[in-house]
Amino acid sequence: MSQDSPRAKSRMVSVDDIGVRRQLADGSEESVTWAELSAVVVRVIPEGPWNEDVFLMLAGANGTGTAVPSGDPAADALIERLQSLPGFDNDKFVEAMTTDADEAYVVWKAAETN
């Protein structure tokens, strides 16, 4: 098997009851748990139509996090889960998903616990 095979470049995103994990092509992993999730940002980069241009960025309270391309096979399950978060701004999410502006849209933030 050559170094350039699709398997060598593959990555995987999983969404479950614990959180979101993204396995990168180099073997490293990014993750965030639902318990530590502090913000959800939709980042639009005008690279389309041939390159991935919308990313779901999940930030954890302890500096962890991951960015999931909206075209990833796990994105639908992730979006469904994110839309169930209390206070999720669905109107801003729809705006972000339908624009080509080079912008970041904060669609959810964890409630302050002071």
pLDDT, tens digit, for every residue of 25-78? 888 999 999 999 999 999 998 765 666 788 999 999 888 999 998 989 999 999
Is residue 92, in this structure, part of any structural domain at all? Answer: yes
Is residue 39, in this structure, part of any structural domain at all? Answer: yes
Contact assessment for residue 37 and residue 19, using Cβ atoms and an 8 Å cutoff: yes
Neighbours of 83 (CB within 10 A): 14
Is residue 114, in this structure, part of any structural domain at all? Answer: no
Q: How many domains does the chain have?
A: 1
Is residue 2, in this structure, part of any structural domain at all? Answer: no
Q: What is the mean pLDDT of the chain?
A: 86
Confidence band (pLDDT; 50, 70, 90) for 114? low
Specify the DSSP class assigned to residue 96: H
Is residue 1, in this structure, part of any structural domain at all? Answer: no
**40: three-class secondary structure by DSSP:** strand
Is residue 112, in this structure, part of any structural domain at all? Answer: no
**12: three-class secondary structure by DSSP:** strand
Domain residue limits at 75: 10-107
